[in-house]
């Protein structure tokens, strides 16, 4: 990673963690501010920032990116090596929380857009004990053609997927296809949509995120 994750620390005894990855061209700062406004005192929120790299979708322009994006079509060529490397970053962040005494069943991973794609892929393809929850906002499943054959974990982990019906970048139909795919191997995946939401977040969505986090990471 290009920088240390932006962290919103627990203000009471730390008993749970949320790891959330930003979208293309962003940093961890924006999402850390969003979580700081809805934080629970026992939860630590970790918002890493991706390395700066050239992105094919944007004519090779360098920006924070978890992997190279070659196109927004579901059948576009995909950066398998980069996706796997980004997945390893997520797992290293989880391992760091485990080393501090937070078990995987008290950790939620998620992300927005490209960050959500990494979170989804990492959650389902790494053979580890289940997490507390998974979140994907305005996102898609990378290397979807390999699923469900590559699924190795979290088949019964609660998952929240949210998508705006007016999204001009990650088409809502792509979100629907992703939801259908995930529901074929995960029995606890929910898909929520927002009529006027584009490729961003909104108060209604963040309220749903809070409800989800309260459910899967209750105080102990």
Secondary structure class of 127 (helix, strand, coil): coil
What one-character-per-residue DSSP string does 141-194 give? -TTGGGTTTT--S-TTS-EEEEEETT-SSS-HHHHHHHHHHHHTT-TTEEEEEE
- Tokens representing 158 are 């609660």
Q: Is 199 a catalytic residue?
A: yes
| Count of residues in the chain | 220
Dist CA 108 CA 92 (whole Å): 14
Which one of 14, 103, 105, 199 is the catalytic residue?
199
Secondary structure class of 52 (helix, strand, coil): strand
Which one of 113, 122, 179, 201 is the catalytic residue?
113
Which one of 79, 167, 179, 208 is the catalytic residue?
167
Measured from the Cβ of residue 5, the count of other Cβ atoms closer than 10 Å reads 18
Q: Is 184 a catalytic residue?
A: no
- Tokens representing 9 are 């620390």
- Tokens representing 89 are 């970053």
Q: Is 138 a catalytic residue?
A: no
Q: Are strands 61-64 and 159-164 parallel, antiparallel or unpaired?
A: unpaired
Q: Are strands 107-112 and 16-21 parallel, antiparallel or unpaired?
A: parallel
Q: Which residues are catalytic?
A: 113, 167, 199
């Amino acid at each position: 990673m290009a920088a240390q994750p932006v962290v919103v620390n627990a203000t009471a005894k730390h008993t749970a963690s949320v790891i959330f990855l930003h979208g293309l061209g962003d940093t961890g700062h924006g999402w850390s501010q969003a979580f700081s406004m809805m934080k629970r005192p026992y939860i630590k929120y970790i918002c890493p920032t991706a390395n700066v790299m050239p992105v094919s979708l944007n004519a090779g322009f360098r920006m924070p990116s978890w992997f190279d994006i070659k196109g927004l079509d579901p059948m576009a060529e995909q950066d398998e090596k980069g996706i796997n490397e980004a997945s390893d970053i997520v797992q290293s962040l989880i391992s760091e929380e485990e080393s501090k005494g937070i078990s995987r069943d008290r950790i939620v991973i998620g992300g927005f857009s490209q960050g959500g794609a990494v979170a989804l892929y990492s959650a389902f393809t790494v053979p580890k004990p289940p997490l507390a929850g998974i979140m994907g906002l305005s996102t898609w499943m990378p290397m979807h053609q390999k699923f469900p054959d590559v699924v190795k974990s979290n088949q019964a982990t609660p998952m929240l997927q949210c998508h705006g019906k007016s999204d001009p970048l990650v088409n809502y139909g792509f979100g629907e296809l992703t939801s259908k795919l995930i529901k074929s191997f995960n029995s606890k995946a929910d898909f929520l949509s927002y009529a006027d939401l584009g490729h961003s977040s909104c108060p209604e969505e963040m309220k749903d995120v809070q409800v989800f986090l309260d459910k899967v990471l209750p105080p102990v």
